[in-house]
Structure 1
Amino acid sequence: MFNGKPLLVAGSLLLFSVTGAAAQTFSSDKTEFQLETVAQNLEHPWSLAFLPDGTMLVTEREGRLRRIENGNLVREPVKGLPELVASGQGGLLDVVLHPQFANNQTLFLSYAHRNSDGMTTRVARATYNGEALENVEVIFEALPRSRNGRHFAGRMVFDQNGHLYMAVGDRGEMDRAQDNRDDAGGVHRISTNGDAIADNPFIGDSRTNNTFYTYGNRNIQGMTLHPDTGEVWSHEHGPRGGDEINIIRAGNDYGWPKVTYGIDYSGIPISDKTTMAGVTDPLHYWDPSIAPSGMAFYTGDLFPQWQGDLFVGALRSQKLVRLTLNDEEVVEEEDLLTNLGERIRDVRMGPDGALWLLTDSRQGKVYRVVPAK
């Protein structure tokens, strides 16, 4: 249980301590819950990972990897990060653990990188020794590079076969999402060494890079595995309107910018179509935009009322969205934390049965969502 007492999870002793003021209580249609502040004063935290020993790793977009140990934020960042740049929407982005992390201490980082040719999204593999990264190796680099600082995407997830799915945004140059000799605007499926998977859908197609798994994706900011089917679910930012939830399936074209429910930021239409033959329609969309970021299915025991629900953070709308599903159909949508006044950057299902949130600000927080007392 919580309240400063040890919590045994998967054979590891997890210790949490709540910082700051008393936990805040909020209401959902199904239950009441509280937010416990586990860490604060993080600079634009972007991603959260749970280690087997109870440590948590948090990326700060400004270029730091931080540790939370025994419920306390360690002052000194993890050393040995790859060379990266924090510029525009880019910086240190996602952190995910190797499926066999307990045995090999290997993790993966996505981040923005700059050289004389411009900026891009990279993935590096490294060994974590508890205080620093060792054996850092770049295993994926999206090419060509671009001069602008938008739409790096960067979300990653491992599937049940140990394949790494890596999202690359269109870099703010929308037509790149339909050019598959260009790594922008899609999901890439690679091995832990960075190689294309042998049965990727475009292997042998000279018009498409071998690592592509899907294309026509604008700027994916959330990826997670469905707890029953094992399929990769994602969401992505639309322009003004047209944020989408999709199921990532081999070879699919998700339509950007040929079809969209949104319009350009200038107010000019991008397309007069919201669907067309050969394009995969979104499972769900938002118009106006909520700017979704981070997503997780709830699979814990603390909230039996939420079992199987999908939770999505929102930056622009500053809320947490709960979606109830019937197979691949959204049958209920509820907005939570609308009065919190925080941009929700990441949403994670914790090994302790709690839902975990990161807030996006210069004084970002790590929240633990638990039942109201």
Structure 2
Amino acid sequence: MKKIATNMGFLLAVFMIAIGCNGQAGEESMESPAADLSVEAEKVVSGTGIGWGIAFLPDGDMLVTEKSGTLYRISDGEIVAEITDGIPSDLDVNGQGGFLDIELHPNYEENGWIYFSYSSSAGSGEGSNTAIIRAKLENDALVNVEELYKAEPNSTRGQHYGSRIVFDNDGYMFFSIGDRGNRDVLPQDITMDGGKIYRLNDDGSIPSDNPFVGEDGAKEAVYSYGHRNPQGMALNPESGIVWANEHGPQGGDEVNIIEPGNNYGWPVISYGINYNGTEFAEDTARAGMEQPILYWDPSIAPAGMTFVTSDKYPGWEGDLLVASLKFSYIAHLDVEGNEILEETKLVEGVGRIRAIEEGPDGYIYFTVEGDGVYRLVPSEN
């Protein structure tokens, strides 16, 4: 498998298997195959605060979750409803926690279910932890709210809730929970929540073929482990497999292909270091632990991600777009099979980009914190 370390000052590709080691022994600049397509950011609506997640209703209306606890319904570029009725009362807005992701059921038109992640104070211990609920939207209120999963125990630490949600082609729901700032305990222990990606049936029950079903003490909803803080997940339209990104520490943000039962190494292996400049990881590779297909150094703070499937962006079909919080751009990753060939930066300087989704009209929509919702529009060269 080819792996790339992307330095932010310029485009480069490092093919580590080709050199047979984990270091960056060779660098090769590459020209983007989609370099002829230019895009610009076009504002769709203002006033959505910290827009954490985006989903689209069948009628074309957009739903945007706002971190402090509001669900916006947007129609024709206007906020037509600020929904708070039905938002869980145990919502704990703190640090990185709040009202987080949103995803419609694949058969939404038949059953009306909408899925949400948020930081919940319910359960044992002080503080909060990630919860997954589903609800229906009626008369601009959430009704029939059902809790499907609640991570335990709570923590007063305000970071690494994870919280992205995605459905696969078989109707399974995947969601992420970060290590909650407790890296030395949670990510490598499948009997504890945190530092994991989970898989449930759409009603919250546990699939019988989940990798740790029947293991003594295991959290049977766990699908993969050894993660730090996955804040982006998307279904690869070609393979039908979930891909995820996650925040590293100082350096070492990753993109991974999520396979059942696999250990993605955090914090035993990492390409990052502590924020104070000291090292902590035992190595960058170890037998039985997965390598990322891409890592960033320095970190870009990756958030939402989506694959391009529409024809609005010629040459981009099947490529991956990742939002950068830290450097305020969208990373366009040229995907070929299970490899990422290189990165191109889009709409640099627009602001902290949190959520990104392809809309039913084929355009890519994204939220900019404190600003609003934009879409990517091809521009004339």
Same fold, judged at TM 0.5 (above): yes
In structure 2, the partner of 1:91 is 98
Deviations 1:203-260 (A, max 9, x none): 1111421101000010001000001111000000000000000011000000000000
In structure 1, the partner of 2:108 is 101
Deviation at 1:160, TM superposition (A): 0.7
Matching of residue 110 in structure 1 with residue 112 in structure 2 = no
Matching of residue 182 in structure 1 with residue 155 in structure 2 = no
Deviation at 1:268, TM superposition (A): 1.7
Tell me, in whole angstroms, the C-alpha distance in 1 between the residues paired with 2:156 and 2:212.
28
Q: Is the 8 A contact 2:327 2:349 kept in 1?
A: no
Q: Select 2:87's aligned residue among 81, 90, 97.
A: 81
In structure 2, the partner of 1:279 is 289
Q: Is the 8 A contact 2:173 2:200 kept in 1?
A: yes
Matching of residue 328 in structure 1 with residue 338 in structure 2 = yes
Tell me, in whole angstroms, the C-alpha distance in 2 between the residues paired with 1:134 and 1:153.
25
For the residue of structure 2 that corresponds to 1:102, the secondary structure is helix
Unaligned runs of 5+ in 1: 1-27
Moved more, 261-270 or 250-259: 261-270
Tell me, in whole angstroms, the C-alpha distance in 2 between the residues paired with 1:327 and 1:52.
31
Tell me, in whole angstroms, the C-alpha distance in 1 between the residues paired with 2:227 and 2:106.
26
For the residue of structure 2 that corresponds to 1:103, the secondary structure is helix
Deviation at 1:336, TM superposition (A): 1.6
Amino acid at match of 2:51: P
Q: Is the 8 A contact 2:71 2:82 kept in 1?
A: no
For the residue of structure 1 that corresponds to 2:349, the secondary structure is coil
TM superposition score normalised by structure 1? 0.89
How many residues align? The count is: 343
In structure 1, the partner of 2:182 is 173
Moved more, 200-209 or 255-264: 200-209
Amino acid at match of 2:42: E
For the residue of structure 1 that corresponds to 2:121, the secondary structure is strand
Deviation at 1:278, TM superposition (A): 0.3
Tell me, in whole angstroms, the C-alpha distance in 2 between the residues paired with 1:192 and 1:275.
35
In structure 2, the partner of 1:30 is 36
Deviations 1:317-341 (A, max 9, x none): 111111112211111211122232x
Q: Is the 8 A contact 2:230 2:245 kept in 1?
A: yes
Tell me, in whole angstroms, the C-alpha distance in 2 between the residues paired with 1:370 and 1:293.
21
Tell me, in whole angstroms, the C-alpha distance in 2 between the residues paired with 1:301 and 1:78.
36
In structure 1, the partner of 2:264 is 254
For the residue of structure 2 that corresponds to 1:280, the secondary structure is coil
In structure 2, the partner of 1:132 is 141
Q: Is the 8 A contact 1:225 1:231 kept in 2?
A: yes
Q: Select 1:306's aligned residue among 316, 319, 343.
A: 316
Deviation at 1:179, TM superposition (A): 1.2
Unaligned runs of 5+ in 2: 1-33
Tell me, in whole angstroms, the C-alpha distance in 1 between the residues paired with 2:72 and 2:349.
28
Q: Select 1:72's aligned residue among 75, 78, 86.
A: 78
Q: Is the 8 A contact 1:238 1:244 kept in 2?
A: yes
In structure 2, the partner of 1:144 is 153
In structure 1, the partner of 2:6 is none
Tell me, in whole angstroms, the C-alpha distance in 2 between the residues paired with 1:43 and 1:344.
12
Q: Is the 8 A contact 1:30 1:306 kept in 2?
A: no
Matching of residue 347 in structure 1 with residue 356 in structure 2 = yes
Deviation at 1:78, TM superposition (A): 4.6
Q: Do the aligned partners of residues 75 and 207 (structure 1) sit closer, same or farther apart at CA in structure 2, a change above 3 Å counting?
A: closer
Amino acid at match of 1:162: G
Tell me, in whole angstroms, the C-alpha distance in 1 between the residues paired with 2:342 and 2:146.
43
Matching of residue 368 in structure 1 with residue 378 in structure 2 = no
Tell me, in whole angstroms, the C-alpha distance in 2 between the residues paired with 1:79 and 1:147.
26
In structure 1, the partner of 2:22 is none
Deviation at 1:75, TM superposition (A): 4.8
In structure 2, the partner of 1:23 is none
Q: Is the 8 A contact 2:300 2:326 kept in 1?
A: yes
Q: Is the 8 A contact 2:39 2:346 kept in 1?
A: no
Q: Is the 8 A contact 2:164 2:231 kept in 1?
A: yes
For the residue of structure 2 that corresponds to 1:347, the secondary structure is strand
Q: Is the 8 A contact 2:41 2:347 kept in 1?
A: no
Moved more, 85-94 or 142-151: 142-151
Tell me, in whole angstroms, the C-alpha distance in 2 between the residues paired with 1:43 and 1:367.
13
Q: Kindly indicate whether structure 1 or structure 2 has the higher relative contact order, using CA contacts under 8 Å at least 6 residues apart.
A: 2
Matching of residue 46 in structure 1 with residue 52 in structure 2 = yes
Matching of residue 161 in structure 1 with residue 167 in structure 2 = no
Matching of residue 119 in structure 1 with residue 128 in structure 2 = yes
For the residue of structure 1 that corresponds to 2:128, the secondary structure is strand
Matching of residue 232 in structure 1 with residue 242 in structure 2 = yes
Tell me, in whole angstroms, the C-alpha distance in 1 between the residues paired with 2:376 and 2:139.
27
Q: Is the 8 A contact 2:37 2:314 kept in 1?
A: no
Q: CA RMSD in A?
A: 1.3
Tell me, in whole angstroms, the C-alpha distance in 1 between the residues paired with 2:45 and 2:372.
6
Tell me, in whole angstroms, the C-alpha distance in 2 between the residues paired with 1:337 and 1:35.
6
In structure 1, the partner of 2:10 is none
